[in-house]
Amino acid sequence: MPSASKFLDILAAGPRDAACVFNPWRDHDERDAAPRRSAPRRRLENMAEYLNARTLGARVLLLGEAPSHRGCRFTGIAFCSETELVHKRDLVARRGLALTSKEAAAKPQRERSAAVIWGEIEHAGKPFEVVLWNAFPWHPYLSDDPAREGPCGPSSNRKPRLDEVAQGRRAFDALLRCFTRKLEVFAVGKVAENALARWDEARCAGYVRHPAQGGEALFRSQFRSAVAPRL
């Protein structure tokens, strides 16, 4: 797949400014399983298999904000944690995919928004017609600061800056070229909605509430009323 190859190259190269950004398809650290150096390659292969399962059948793309430190950071797939790779294996790809976290054998990483979204994808019954992606595809995190309360460093999440989201446009365009059909793009949350509004020719088919921070019920309702009928 020539288009997919170019897209994967963009992911591995990462953003111009990598400060406080973890690239799942290039970087590794102590949270990865041994051999750590192979983890980015395995996540890139996961993404390739995920795309391959959807090249011919995809109809809809759900665009979120950015990867979380428990989801795409370990799987290489947006809105997807290791729990989905284990328990919804046949919905994610046509073969089993790699788990890359150090604790995966005993306790695969789990991400709540991923669980909600994949639950709705399973309910709709057409997993290979849905593509999940983020406006900023690399994982942005908070800088280490002893004065800050709560998590910081690569095990934290932060909202991507406007200039970072702008860098996600190239990957987004390359992703759309990986499919035989023109996809209908739904924004999941305000960051994605604002990104699509700024990206020329990136038409937004509709807005869906992000499932995080109390949005689960509304996401489920809007997915079933707006997204599922397009599948």
The reported pLDDT for the residue numbered 153 is: 82
Q: Is the pLDDT of residue 48 over 80?
A: yes
Q: Per-residue pLDDT tens for 13-44? A: 999 878 899 999 999 999 999 999 999 999 99
CATH, residue 191: 3.40.470.10
The reported pLDDT for the residue numbered 2 is: 60
Q: Per-residue pLDDT tens for 194-208? A: 999 999 878 999 999
Q: What's the burial of 114, exposed, middle or buried (CB within 10 Å: 0-12/13-18/19+)?
A: buried
The reported pLDDT for the residue numbered 147 is: 66
- DSSP H stretches of helix in the chain: 2-13, 39-52, 72-75, 82-87, 89-92, 112-124, 162-176, 190-198, 216-222
The reported pLDDT for the residue numbered 150 is: 63
Domains in the chain, number: 1
Tokens at residue 24, please? 């799942």
Tokens at residue 23, please? 């690239």
d(CA 14, CA 33): 22
Q: Is the pLDDT of residue 91 over 60?
A: yes
Would you give the DSSP letter of residue 127?
A: G
Structural domain containing residue 181 = 2-230
Q: Per-residue pLDDT tens for 133-150? A: 999 999 999 987 766 666
The reported pLDDT for the residue numbered 34 is: 97
The reported pLDDT for the residue numbered 3 is: 81
**Average pLDDT of the residues of the chain:** 95
pLDDT > 70 in the chain, percent: 97
Q: Per-residue pLDDT tens for 126-135? A: 999 999 999 9
| The residue to which tokens 């793309």 are assigned | 61
The reported pLDDT for the residue numbered 193 is: 97
